[in-house]
Chains A and B, each alone.
Chain A
């Protein structure tokens, strides 16, 4: 059944715990890494949803659960109107025609012993499509051309390509079956700056032309802002804030989002002593095997109070177009203070005095 108005993906209370075991012969579970611990969100058809967060926040695990490379511990994933969280075998294989993934590392995600042609035609082989040799080759060469590779390089091996080109191979393989959903897990973080833009533009072009729905995972907040319509911020296995890009970047409500944004260095110097007053988070992310009680961010939160360690805040509307899980969301004044210089309308080329200067220490 196809429900065209409904979101393409609906995730309800998704949980993935990886057991920690002890003992060699008789293994017993002594705990669990709570990689994803109750995540809910929706992805509309044709939109790009960004997932951001620090290392270990569960963003990659969420992606792998969505594509069902991992089995969820509990929770529900509704894709195109059907619950897919328990799919197995042939049902799962059929599902993968509609959802594909682009991986982070273009070196380890391509089989070094296969030619590019056979790597990109693998999806057709798996699903028994385009049986004729000539037909399949033609389609693969079209795809190579589409992603900006020279179709004559059909018989070359991955090691003959640069990092950016390999990532194009990975993209070609992922879009070969014209999936409805493409999940890109840090697709550009292994690439050089000048090459990143090429791959980002390619993903945007493909999305426009093929009507793809894209889930884009990255730790680089500027890249996510550039690519995504909506962004979900994760911290220790939970979504702490989800909002349309413009709202999230201009008026973050969760102190963690504020801290992330304020930590991003901005490529625009503005005189000596230009460093703006940052809201630096102290310490490290706590272990997901033993996350803090109630609000998980309270151990590092500059606004934490008694309530935060007793009562977990629900993800709810905090007066903007997004949702945030916080008892004491940032006020407008705090946002201004912390993000001055990071955002705003300063034109870097003509304006030598970014707003950050107001807050200079010296």
Chain B
């Protein structure tokens, strides 16, 4: 009778563990389906003209995403210019002065902000910038993306700097360096690779953000025309073209999705390669 009981337990084990493996496989199906759909539908949309031309007017076929690629690069570069220094210094502060209460509060809210709905950040950038200059603008878009990047850079920098062994700090102080110089000249360079990883993660995230751009940078069918003017971007291009009724536009949305995905995958794979062997929390 004992054997039948243990056989039952064994059967239960096999079924339930089997279900876990099924869950893992079902999790992977959408990923592969997305990647395959993008490859299958996007591949045929891409040619040289697609990458180098401006979009055509509604109804005309042809045209490309040159302005969207340019716009995304400008937006992300500007956002990095604002967000990366702030994130870096915040991360250094959290790691090097970790014991005080202010650091705890900042760490906590930067984790909260990381998972925050990006559309709300878009409204914020709208109210503080768009309302004042009375136009959608590249600047507003960059500020919204910077707000999204700051907590990511902050937390990854903190983790990276914290991993620097204390010996290095002690060595710096023992050589007579003041603490700030020890941090800036010894600790931060030692944590460089982790910091770069964090920055690239945040860049990848900013590259794909759409919702905040809808309320800030909006969109444009032309190339960059000034910081205070609306600007095109890859995610906005995909959004607008995918919900349009024209088959040609939809095909172009897939083409743009393929290019955007390649940009982001390249960043993610470089990040993974840089952090290989480390099995740590994703932010």
Q: Does A pair with B? A: no
